[in-house]
Chain A
Amino acid sequence: MIRAVLASILLAFQITAFAADHKGVDWLTRMTESFDSLAYEGVFVHQEAGAMNSMRIRHGLIGGVEYESLEDLDGKRVEVIRADDSVICVFPEKEDYTTGFVPGEPFKRFRELDQGRLESAYDIQVIKEPQRIASRDAVKLVLTPKDEYRHGHEFWIDKSNGFLLKHDVLDAQFKLLERIQFTSVDFSPDLKEEDFTPKKGSYTQQFVEMKPQPVANDWTFEWLPEGFSLVWPYARRMNEHTKMLLLSDGMSTISVFVEPSDRKRPQTLMNLGATIAGENSIQVGEQTYLLTLVGEVPAQTIQRLMTVIMPKPNND
């Protein structure tokens, strides 16, 4: 009994000490670690561009196997299940199978948060006022971008274990672009293998590890927003002609797709909440290329990046 009381006091002290002493980036590091280290089962709401979806997420270690699943509770109830490096996508009916929904490769685990890069791009502030989300005490972080090339973020992080409870993406006028908010979450879930087994009669597609095809990156950017850099030193081959590059500042991600094209397209921007997609044609010698950029950044970032991508010099 005494030991339990002492343990509780120690835990409370540790929580208080962490909350008082740590900077915003420490909380963000703790948040990213919690997705791997904790067992959890929760329901969250995803709100974007006026649409709202409720989703269930589960994560746990069962018999030495790491399981994770994300289930759409609305609409067609599509579910993605990961068991270590295998991914299964589950659809209620075969007709609901959507080729593009499933991941091309299993989810790799996020390894490390680049604190220096984040701090170069955002002012990170820990809000002192107590917060409460999904019946849990939370710490609120505000990430204010230092330039106009990225969105602002607000995180509500579980005070006791660092789990992400709520995340808002805001534009420069503080307009809400996207929100993830847990309505309930259990950190002692009684998860079993059956919870990660597709229901009988459902249609499943299983995917095994497919190593990405690295190819030479023959494109470069004359300019990048502060803190952004290529995630891979190479390009990835998407198909016979298309190459993909990935940019990130540690918080936002921009995908760049480049492919030869036989016709020019006007510059087009498409938006869905925080996500902006832009496409444009560029001419290199006799060859026209189609650029497609997708990212959770302001439209002007996509616009400007489309004007500064260029082929690397031949001797590079």
Chain B
Amino acid sequence: MSKYDDTHNSKTYESLSAFLDNEASQADIEVLLTADKEGLANKLDHYHQIHQSTQLDGEQFIFDSGAFLSGIKDKLKEEMSDSNVVAFPQKNVLQQTNVDAEFSELEEQNDDPQVSHRPMWGGLAVAASVAVAVVMGGNLLLGGSSTDVTTPVFATNSVPVVEQNSISIQNIDEVADLENNERLKNYLRQHAQQASMTVGQGMIPMARVVSYPQDVKQ
């Protein structure tokens, strides 16, 4: 291992430790966000083992994600504020760019340290990929079973979502109104058709179309 790697790993470990002690600085957050995924996962695992070996019987590890969420929030605010200045006409308002509101909701849910965070964080796996990156690390340290935990994804630029419904396309008949339902099906088919012309696999992408709901008749 090179000297650079040693130094780099050492810094990552320090940042991880600071985070786990709720003492992470912005610099620590940035180190974690840019860290090698596999290496970080190994460190989390290592930390977990150390924690378990030193844990007293019956002692509960309580993980307060507030400091970390706050750091992530600042990071996102900084990124989004930069991008908004450059790109958005003043009069245009996008609905889903309110990071403060989104994170205050997450933080409110985290206010009570007695509450188990595991199910809630599991539910955020799709919605808040940045938060999940580290939150899932926290879950690993909580000792949750593998079925409770999604594999950590260390995204660096994703945007969290406040309100989101996640459903299967096969079930859109159950959740969408008729007009919306037909619109979505039409778009799915248009997409499959265009994909068949774009990715160089002949008619094969059209095979997807038969998987889509087919009940729209003339």
Interface residues of A (CB under 8 A from B): 28, 31-32, 35-36, 44, 46, 48-49, 51, 53, 55, 57, 59, 68-70, 72, 75-76, 78, 80, 82, 95, 97-101, 103-105, 107-110, 113, 148, 164, 167, 172-173, 178, 180, 222-223, 231, 238, 244, 246, 248, 250-253, 255, 257, 264, 266-273, 275, 277, 279-285, 292, 294-296, 299-300, 303-304, 306-308, 310-311, 313
A164→B201 contact, CB < 8 A? yes
Contact of B187 among A76, A103, A277 (CB under 8 A): A277
Q: Which residues of A contact B201 (CB under 8 A)?
A: 31-32, 35, 110, 164, 167
B51 in the interface, Cβ–Cβ < 8 Å? no
B94→A310 contact, CB < 8 A? yes
Sample of 11 A–B contacts (CB below 8 Å):
A101-B214, A110-B199, A164-B204, A238-B190, A253-B191, A267-B96, A267-B161, A270-B166, A282-B95, A283-B92, A294-B188
CA distance A166 to B152 in the complex (A): 29
Q: Which 10 A-B pairs have the closest CB atoms?
A: A32-B200, A35-B202, A272-B169, A255-B191, A110-B200, A294-B191, A46-B207, A253-B195, A222-B87, A70-B203
Return B96 CB to nearest CB of chain A, in Å: 5
B92→A57 contact, CB < 8 A? no
Q: Which residues of A contact B95 (CB under 8 A)?
A: 264, 280-283
Residues A255 and B187 in contact in the complex (CB < 8 Å), given A269-B166, A282-B94:
yes
CB-nearest residue of chain A to B83? A222
CB-nearest residue of chain B to A225? B157
Q: Which residues of B contact A48 (CB under 8 A)?
A: 208, 211
CB-nearest residue of chain A to B129? A300
B218 in the interface, Cβ–Cβ < 8 Å? yes
B159 in the interface, Cβ–Cβ < 8 Å? yes
Residues A98 and B216 in contact in the complex (CB < 8 Å), given A72-B210, A285-B91, A299-B126:
yes
Residues A270 and B169 in contact in the complex (CB < 8 Å), given A44-B204, A172-B153:
yes
Residues A296 and B169 in contact in the complex (CB < 8 Å), given A75-B210, A303-B161, A310-B92:
no
Return B87 CB to nearest CB of chain A, in Å: 4
CB-nearest residue of chain A to B205? A253
Contact of A110 among B166, B193, B197, B216 (CB under 8 A): B197
B159→A101 contact, CB < 8 A? no
B186 in the interface, Cβ–Cβ < 8 Å? yes
CA distance A35 to B137 in the complex (A): 45
Q: Which residues of B contact A103 (CB under 8 A)?
A: 193, 206
Q: Which residues of A contact B204 (CB under 8 A)?
A: 44, 57, 70, 164, 167, 180
CA distance A300 to B132 in the complex (A): 12
Extra 18 A-B pairs, beta carbons < 8 Å, given A238-B190, A268-B165: A36-B202, A68-B202, A69-B203, A70-B207, A75-B210, A98-B217, A101-B214, A148-B153, A222-B83, A251-B199, A257-B190, A269-B164, A270-B167, A270-B172, A271-B169, A272-B212, A299-B166, A307-B94
CA distance A260 to B97 in the complex (A): 20
B93 in the interface, Cβ–Cβ < 8 Å? yes
CA distance A126 to B164 in the complex (A): 40
CA distance A172 to B136 in the complex (A): 15
B159→A303 contact, CB < 8 A? yes
B104 in the interface, Cβ–Cβ < 8 Å? no
Contact of A272 among B96, B166, B168 (CB under 8 A): B168
B35 in the interface, Cβ–Cβ < 8 Å? no
**Interface residue count on the B side (C-beta < 8 Å):** 65
Q: Which residues of B contact A275 (CB under 8 A)?
A: 169, 188, 191, 208
CA distance A53 to B126 in the complex (A): 28
Residues A173 and B151 in contact in the complex (CB < 8 Å), given A68-B202, A167-B201, A246-B194:
yes
Q: Which residues of A contact B215 (CB under 8 A)?
A: 98
Mark contacts of B158-182 with chain A using CB atoms, 8 A cut-off: 1 yes-contact digit, 0 otherwise. Answer: 1101011111111010000000001
Q: Which residues of B contact A246 (CB under 8 A)?
A: 194, 198
B167→A268 contact, CB < 8 A? yes
CA distance A246 to B190 in the complex (A): 11
Q: Which residues of A contact B209 (CB under 8 A)?
A: 101
CA distance A173 to B195 in the complex (A): 24
B92→A180 contact, CB < 8 A? no
Q: Which residues of A contact B87 (CB under 8 A)?
A: 222, 308, 310
CA distance A117 to B6 in the complex (A): 34
B184 in the interface, Cβ–Cβ < 8 Å? yes
A307→B211 contact, CB < 8 A? no
B58 in the interface, Cβ–Cβ < 8 Å? no
B186→A57 contact, CB < 8 A? no
A244→B197 contact, CB < 8 A? no
Residues A296 and B129 in contact in the complex (CB < 8 Å), given A70-B203, A97-B217, A277-B184:
no
B43 in the interface, Cβ–Cβ < 8 Å? no
B168→A310 contact, CB < 8 A? no
A267→B191 contact, CB < 8 A? no
